[in-house]
Structures are given as structure tokens and as C-alpha cells.
């Protein structure tokens, strides 16, 4: 497979025109784009990286992600709107989230003393809700498909400027439909956020994501990884050792014992000792939040604007500039030749926005493979003590798993595969419209 080669602002994929590169992942580059035609809106386009175009395993993961996530309907899970292919390169179209990854919010919050506990808890409760919806995905027969995200981390949680939180990037998600895709000796996900059973290559279920959520909660509350070693191998060894981490209150005495208990239960080495479902974690967090700390989405939105609002303004300005410079452009033959010869990914930016130019060009350079975007360290957070929660009851694991029809990445039927997923997306949307009438 040849792939698209270099692409840039103004390049059109189907009915989507690329504007600004915003993120680079292990499998794909994510672009801010706009729909073409009478009704235009901003979307996110996830374009598979050229160097992976000949890898059948990665193509299958890309298709599996589209097949799975397109069936999840929840406000805390990013929605996949479309799937397409151009010059034998796959791309997904997702709803546009005007927000920042959680790891960026953490970094920027350092100068403000960290994230206040009420904000932190509301964000994490939305993460629980989104993951619970994913875990509860059912097949045509009504049985659970056994979906596990496998990569719950700050990089895969988006916090919007409207106060809403979205779980993103199900690229390494595992379900009954792709249970054979993990090779012996390989790991999928970020090792520092993996559960012991995941690192050992043992069977996993939704409780594997609960362990990852426990690591994230611990980091948010204390500023430290619960199993941090001198290197990644040592961190993995500590995760699988069965030795509990240092209790969070030893590091942050102001934490309530109830919040600490939630974190330590989520981090239990044995899956049977953890919470059974994300809904159970969510209810425990609700009970650990006093009435005076129950905040709204607008409170989160206000915190986002105060903490990282300048980043959102810069990104929106970059998108507006790209829209103006590419309006009416459908990638002329001359421009395609320019792109093929290695033209820059980033659009021209006004000289009055040096910080904006640096951000966009850094993403562009990473997308072209010249450098990797750095991952900042996690800062500590500002803790607000909370009173004891009410008691909660455990929730059972749920019914058996089912197998969804799997989309096979067959070289001679790729257009048919893409058309099938696209048709499924359209039918799902039509069903939603008819249901709500």
C-alpha cells in the first residue's frame, strides 16, 4: 500500500478538508478539518500514518476501533461520525472536541497549586461514566461484547471548554471480536497504566480499566505514580509484584479516608478485590463528594478557561486562519505536486502569533516524523478535604460476552469494508433521529 504521502492544510479527504494538525498518535495523525458543501462544521479527522499503511494488524485495529466506537452512544465518549479511504489510506471522522487532554490540564495547573478536588472528582466521574458505557456495549443478540479500553491514561481523556469530558482513542481496545489480535510477547497500551494481569498477558476484562483508573486517580491526588520505578521495566515489576502502593494519605494528609479507600480498592492487585464495574466506582466517588463540593459543568468550564483558555484561543485562531487561507481550495494539481515534494504540514501563521505558530508547527513536525511531541510530567493537585461517604453496594459483573461480526482487512475488499461501516453509522444516526421524534 502506497498511502497518501505528505498531506497538508487544504488537502481534501472525501468531503473533509484538512486545516490544522493537532495531535500525533502511535497509529495516526489527528487533524482539525471542516466538512465541505452547503453545511460546514469543524470535525476531527484521524488519518492513519503512512508508515503503517502496509501493516495489516494496524489496519485491522483502525477498522475495529471505528466499528466499536461507532456503536457507543454516550456524551462522555467521543463519537465517530464517518470512515473513509483515499489512495488506500484509511481515515476516521470524529466529533470535534474544543478542549485539552487531561495531561495538558495537569501541567498547566501547576502554577495554580494543582487541580481543586471538586474539579478533579467531577472530571473523573465523567471518565467513569464514559468507560462504563463502553464496557456495557452489547451486540445484536443483546449480550455484552466484553469491550476493554486498555489504554486509560491522561493522554486519552479530553476535558472540554464546556466542562464536558470525553474518553478517546480506542485504538487498542479489546473485545470478543478481536480477542486473538494480541500477539504473544506484545503489549498494547501504555505500560505504566497497565494492570498486573495485562502485563502478564493473562485474560482481561473491565476491571483492567478500573486498575488504570486507580493509577490515574492516585497521580491526580498525589502528583506521583503509585508504582513509579527508576525506569519503565522497574515500574512494571512493581505493578506485578502484588505489593500495595504507599497509601495516598501518607503523601497528602488532607485527603479523606473515603477517597483513599476508593483509590486503594481500584489498585488491588487481584481483579476480584477491585470494584466490579465503573458504575460502582462512580457511585463511590459520588458518595465521597460532600454537597458543598458538588459542582456543575460550568464550574469545570470556568476552571478550564482560567487555566488553559489561552491554548484554546490559539487553536481556534489557527483554525480560523487555515479556513480563510484554504477557503474554496480542493487541493489543485499544483498543490498536490507541492505536497508530494514535501511541503510543510502547518499553514502559514501571522507573525503576531509566535506562540501559536510554535504550537502548530511542533504538531506539524511531529506529524511529519521529525520529532515527537513531549509528554509533560504530572503535577500535584490542590486537595479539598471531603467528609465520609454513605455506604455503597457492589454491582455484579454482568452477563456473558458475545462476539460481534468482525470487519476483516482484506486487500481486495477494502472499499466494501469502508462502505459497510459508513452505512452502519448512517443507519445508527437515522435510528436515533426516528427514536427521538
Q: What are phi and psi of 394, to 5 degrees?
A: -75, 155
Catalytic residue among 151, 169, 205, 321: 151
- Return d(Cα 230, Cα 210) in angstroms, integer: 25
- Annotated catalytic, 162? no
Q: What is the CA radius of gyration of the chain?
A: 22
Contact 177, 61 (CB under 8 A): no
Give me the active site residues, please. 151
Amino acid at each position: 500500500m502506497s498511502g497518501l504521502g505528505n498531506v497538508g492544510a487544504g488537502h481534501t479527504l472525501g468531503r473533509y478538508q484538512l486545516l490544522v494538525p493537532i495531535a500525533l498518535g502511535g497509529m495516526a495523525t489527528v487533524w482539525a478539518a471542516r466538512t465541505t458543501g452547503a453545511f460546514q462544521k469543524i470535525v476531527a479527522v484521524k488519518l492513519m500514518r503512512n508508515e503503517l499503511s502496509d501493516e495489516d494488524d494496524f489496519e485491522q485495529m483502525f477498522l475495529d476501533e471505528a466499528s466499536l466506537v461507532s456503536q457507543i452512544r454516550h456524551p462522555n465518549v467521543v463519537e465517530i461520525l464517518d470512515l473513509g479511504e483515499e489512495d488506500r489510506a484509511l481515515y476516521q471522522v470524529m466529533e470535534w472536541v474544543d478542549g485539552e487532554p487531561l495531561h495538558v490540564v495537569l501541567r498547566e495547573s501547576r502554577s495554580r497549586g494543582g487541580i481543586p478536588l471538586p474539579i478533579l472528582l467531577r472530571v473523573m466521574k465523567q471518565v467513569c461514566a464514559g468507560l462504563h458505557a463502553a464496557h456495557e456495549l452489547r451486540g445484536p443478540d443483546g449480550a455484552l461484547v466484553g469491550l476493554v479500553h486498555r489504554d486509560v491514561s491522561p493522554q486519552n481523556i479530553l476535558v472540554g471548554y464546556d466542562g464536558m469530558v470525553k474518553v478517546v482513542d480506542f485504538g487498542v481496545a479489546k473485545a470478543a471480536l478481536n480477542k486473538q489480535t494480541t500477539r504473544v510477547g506484545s503489549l498494547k497500551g501504555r505500560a505504566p497504566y497497565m494492570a498486573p494481569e495485562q502485563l502478564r498477558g493473562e485474560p482481561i476484562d473491565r476491571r483492567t480499566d478500573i486498575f488504570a483508573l486507580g493509577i490515574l486517580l492516585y497521580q491526580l491526588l498525589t502528583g506521583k505514580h503509585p508504582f513509579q520505578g527508576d525506569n519503565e521495566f522497574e515500574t512494571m515489576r512493581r505493578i506485578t509484584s502484588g505489593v500495595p502502593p504507599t497509601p495516598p494519605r501518607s503523601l497528602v494528609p488532607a485527603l479523606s479516608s473515603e477517597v483513599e479507600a476508593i483509590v486503594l480498592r481500584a489498585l488491588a492487585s487481584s481483579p476480584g478485590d477491585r470494584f466490579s464495574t465503573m458504575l460502582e466506582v462512580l457511585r463511590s466517588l459520588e458518595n465521597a463528594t460532600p454537597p458543598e463540593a458538588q459542582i456543575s459543568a460550568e464550574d469545570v468550564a470556568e476552571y478550564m478557561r482560567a487555566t488553559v483558555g489561552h491554548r484554546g484561543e490559539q487553536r481556534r485562531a489557527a483554525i480560523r486562519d487555515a479556513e480563510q487561507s484554504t477557503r474554496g481550495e480542493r487541493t489543485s494539481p499544483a498543490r498536490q505536486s507541492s505536497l508530494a515534494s514535501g511541503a510543510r504540514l502547518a499553514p502559514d501563521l501571522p507573525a503576531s502569533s509566535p506562540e501559536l505558530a510554535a504550537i502548530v508547527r511542533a504538531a506539524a513536525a511531529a506529524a511529519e516524523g521529525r520529532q515527537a511531541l513531549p509528554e509533560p510530567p504530572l503535577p500535584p493537585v490542590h486537595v479539598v478535604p471531603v467528609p465520609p461517604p454513605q455506604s455503597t453496594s457492589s454491582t455484579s459483573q454482568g452477563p456473558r460476552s458475545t462476539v460481534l461480526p468482525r470487519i476483516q482487512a482484506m486487500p481486495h475488499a477494502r472499499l466494501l469494508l469502508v462502505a459497510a461501516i459508513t452505512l452502519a453509522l448512517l443507519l445508527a444516526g437515522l435510528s436515533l433521529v426516528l427514536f427521538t421524534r
